[in-house]
Structure 1
């Protein structure tokens, strides 16, 4: 999907760093090929939770409370509320700028973080006036039919409300307002606050500016001490955050949200991020490539991502003539069983047909019913899937 990511970011940050935008695009990788996963839905709590966990905590290395991070995300959402398409690249740029961490993506340190924090603080304050938001839910389900693979039900369910807590937004605004102070603690010398406290000292004193005795002349010195203590506190907080968010080495490959990195201890892939809607994730299982095909609710169309994702499986099968592909479906525990069975059969057959179009021999692609077709303990989006594994 062709998209001018830099132009979209510059709608909000006129001097956005092109290097940073390119690095974020590389980090997101295959997620940007799918229209749904390239956008961020601020009214979907599962989506904003993934942004918090995968980007703010894992990528940026933030250790703030969930409430503070959620409030920052809500602030960016309020800032972009007039934009019909909230591009993920732009959202991640604004969040990284808000926390002063554009350096992780090769950006320059300094004023950029402060400017982003100020902008996000205004947006978070405006968001505090919202009564709440409601997102269209995705309570669909899938089931199996005899020995045929499973998909999900008619995929219709109640929406999930995602009200924005005013207290959380207020915390984000406070944190954002504090960032500019913390961004340059060394520049705040004791002489700078002195003019600000001179007036209160005269106002509450005994009128004799040359005398230190009597009245409340000590109040100015107390205020100065408080200002210096605040500067020291935020300075230490900023340094601690910078140490926690260490940028990856130059030669380290970018991590895509839709491609699982290998587990260093087992050699197998860890759980990959689930696409928002239809998509394909290529992983490894027991040292062999595999594919997980996800579907939009109520549909059986296979994502175009299969063409690229299936390349590793095709190479393995071509190099191992005795290998076959097992196509197995899974479903969540909700929905009408009859509707689930028909939809799951159509989805499994769609994956088989798509693989044959990519050059896989028909006798090499076999529909296989798994021992347990119903998936519990996960969300419905994860259950709407068909797994393609290598046998032999």
Structure 2
């Protein structure tokens, strides 16, 4: 590497993991070849929005609100404010460390570290009256009974332990204490002077003992679960985790969760999807380029199969560009991209009269990530 990325990261994290830095460099790939794209400008909102959408949400799989993610980015920017060149590799390392997700790049993390990360991400601390207080300054509603005896669910939920919600009803009320046999009536003086039960406290301690044991059990199994599922939080390589459908006791399967949208590549690539029940392709391009990704040959199988089953259908090919640069040059670039995709589709065995160039009303896409704007859409027309 022309740039010593590891040395730059270690200016901020002395024991930074070399393997993690290497995987972040591999993830960024072509973005590091250009000096401008290898740096992060924290004063450019478009740039910080791109970091939030492409890295924090798509790569790390975070589901926090934008304000929380922007605050984390600003915190890293403040940490690096004395550095004239804010390398993208270092920024991404510090953000992954901030959210406890270096494991996505092969970093080591123990079970207790996972629980601590979950607490940090939740941004919650317990107030004196049992309510939860957002560390960003806002009070959270709905947990005013957090410090009452037997309220175990808020503790487990604040730690981010799986199964906390299901355990809440059982944990909210301690198990009833066994009822001791009623002793024969004796004179008060005799009961206190017999010397056989000096504690004189009965069994009032039993509910507290049961509560403590229940909390310990929840923490133990929760931490153990976190350690086993650590690598399943957000699969590496942009893959979407698939969970099995849980069938309730009555035998009726719960409705399947909607499929997550495919991630938009930062450069050239192809994403296959459905639109109104028909297959479509979105072909993405590098900045200023019209070269079609090799992924098209695999992704186009769905539209090819559809055309074979529907002889009257055709494919509409429409090119788009991002708003940067000269408008006339961008319009020409959109046209060239569409023509390149048409030629590539025809090479796959689809007849030329089945592939029609269709100029969209607006070829320049604004208000979106530039990576998403540099595209050609292939849709089915009937």
**TM-score (normalised: structure 2):** 0.47
Higher relative contact order (CA 8 A, sep 6+): 1
Larger radius of gyration: 2
**TM-score (normalised: structure 1):** 0.46
